[in-house]
């Protein structure tokens, strides 16, 4: 069983601060995605990382895939209230490559205080 542990589970910070969310596993993933979900809605894809060591930037969000493709991080610079939501990482295991099954992380609930 592939498990993706996210930390922290909950995070509440002031607007303008920086933060990092971690997604860790003992398993290797062929790709890893980050989603943001708001209450009562489905997850919205933010980014997909595929190559070990890959770094992708999306405005104030920076995503990194670990060299060994077992972990990932999401860094938000100058957080804004609009960043509030549930952040989920999800990976396609090496063994699952080809059948598109995603394993979701445990989630990080982020609250940005104005």
Q: Which residues bind other proteins (CB under 8 A)?
A: 30-31, 33, 35, 40-45, 48, 50, 88, 90, 92, 96-107, 109
Strands (E), the chain: 5-7, 10-14, 19-24, 29-37, 44-49, 55-58, 61-65, 71-76, 85-93, 102-104, 108-113
Of 40 and 82, CB closest to other proteins: 40
Report, in Å, the least distance between residue 52 CB and other proteins.
15
35 versus 63: smaller Cβ distance to other proteins: 35
Q: Between 65 and 79, name the residue whose CB sits nearer to other proteins.
A: 65
């Amino acid at each position: 069983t592939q498990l993706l542990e996210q930390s922290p589970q909950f995070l509440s910070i002031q607007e303008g601060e920086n933060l990092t969310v971690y997604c860790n596993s003992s398993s290797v993933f062929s790709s890893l995605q980050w989603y943001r979900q708001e209450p009562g809605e489905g997850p919205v894809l933010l980014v997909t990382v595929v190559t070990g060591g890959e770094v992708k930037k999306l405005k104030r969000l920076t995503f990194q895939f670990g060299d060994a493709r077992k972990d990932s991080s999401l860094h938000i610079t100058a957080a804004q209230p609009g960043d509030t939501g549930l952040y989920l990482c999800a990976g396609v295991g090496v063994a699952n490559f080809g059948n598109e099954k995603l394993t979701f992380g445990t989630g990080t609930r982020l609250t940005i205080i104005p």
